[in-house]
Amino acid sequence: MTTAKDFLLSRIGVINTPFDSKFAVPRQARLAAGARGVIVLDDDYSDPNFVLGLEGCTHIWVSFVFHLVGASDKPTVRPPRLGGNERVGVFATRSTHRPNPLGLSVLKLDKVVLGGRTEIHVSGVDLVSGTPILDIKPYVPYVDSVADATYLMADQPPRTLKVVWTDQARNEFELISAKLNLTDMTGVEQILAQDPRPSYHNDEARVYGVSLEGIEFKFTVSENAVTIQGVA
């Protein structure tokens, strides 16, 4: 059996999210319910008919391109969930480093805004802002929700950290969030609770920084908690 080997696909739109870079993106969709995003469909797909009936779904599948990573020909990866030491086949993981840099996330559909370019507002996002979107499909529970499925490598969500604000950081956040249309504090906490340090870092004295919607959060991480030290 021979079929064509190469396929040219084009984006239908782009997603805007709080994540300015790969750093701090939750490791899976829906881990940070407060992480919101807006899929903006390109002109060619902004005819309102393309999304007619979409609000009959509570959740959608979004197929996208890992555009910051690109294609990888390495057969194995080292998932953070396995401590970063064990090698596993790329097709046994959701790693971003894969032969076709295709991502797949199930997101909660919040609302659809028509007029001009169609906006699809979603939450629980795990995509870098600017990610090109290839397709949107409804989540169909009787097909997609597999009651008896198991996955040996990760049967539970990753553990989350407690989030603590210093008084200074809280004051700084309130000053900035009053001026900007920012992700709310709950969203920020859900994102930082995922332990957004680069893999394998373990230095309690080090101050890390992460940019969310252009706002820089400085934080430290101890055994069980992340402490937000400052917001600028």
We find the least distance from the C-beta atom of residue 167 to a second copy, in angstroms, to be 35
DSSP 164-209: EE-HHHHHHHHHHHHHS-PPPHHHHHHHHTT--SPTT---TTPPEE
First and final C-alpha spacing in the chain: 59
> In terms of Cα–Cα distance, which of 115, 112, 11 is closest to 57?
112
Q: Minimum Å distance from CB 220 to a second copy? A: 28
Q: Residue 219, class by beta-carbon neighbours within 10 Å (0-12 exposed, 13-18 middle, 19+ buried)?
A: buried
Q: How far is the CB of 226 from a second copy (least distance, A)?
A: 22
Contact 34, 190 (CB under 8 A): yes
State the Cα–Cα distance between residues 6 and 127, nearest whole angstrom: 25
Closest separation in Å from C-beta 100 to a second copy: 5
C-beta of 131 vs 220, nearer to a second copy: 131
Q: How far is the CB of 155 from a second copy (least distance, A)?
A: 7
